[in-house]
Structure 1
Amino acid sequence: MDFEKTVARQALIEGGKIVVEVGGHSILLCRLQGEVLAVQNQCTHAGSRLEAGLVAEGSIRCPLHGVRFDLRSGKCLNVRLGCAPLRCFATRETGDYIEVEVAERQACTG
Structure 2
Amino acid sequence: MPNFVKVAELDELNENAGLMVELEGEQVAIFLVDGKPLAVQDKCPHRGAPLSEGQRTGTVVRCPWHAAKFDLVTGKVLNPPARRDLHCYKAETRADGVYLSLERDATSNESSS
| Pair in the same fold by TM > 0.5 | yes
Q: Which runs of 4+ in 1 moved over 3 A?
A: none
Which residue number in structure 1 is paired with residue 29 of structure 2?
28
SS at match of 2:21: strand
Give the drift of 1:81.
4.4
Structure 1 2/62 Cα, relative in aligned 2: closer, same or farther at 3 Å?
same
Determine the structure 2 residue equivalent to 1:102: 102
Query: 1:75-101, CA deviations, whole angstroms, 9 ceiling, x for partnerless residues?
Result: 0001x6461110000011122200001
- Could you tell me which runs of 5 or more consecutive residues in structure 2 were left unpaired when the two chains were aligned: none
| Partner Cα separation in structure 1 for residue 68 and residue 53 of structure 2 | 13
Identity of aligned residues (%): 28
Q: Does 1:89 align with 2:81?
A: no
Alpha-carbon deviations, 1:37-57, whole Å to 9, x = none?
Answer: 000001112222212211112
Contact 2:71 2:78 in 1 (8 A): yes
Paired position in structure 1 for 2:52: 51
Q: What TM-score comes out, normalization by structure 1 length?
A: 0.89
**How many residues of Structure 1 are paired with residues of Structure 2 in the alignment?**
109
SS of corresponding position for 1:47: coil
Q: 1:102, CA displacement in angstroms?
A: 1.5
What are structure 1's unaligned runs of at least 5 residues?
none
Cα gap change, 1:4 to 1:97, in 2 (>3 Å): same
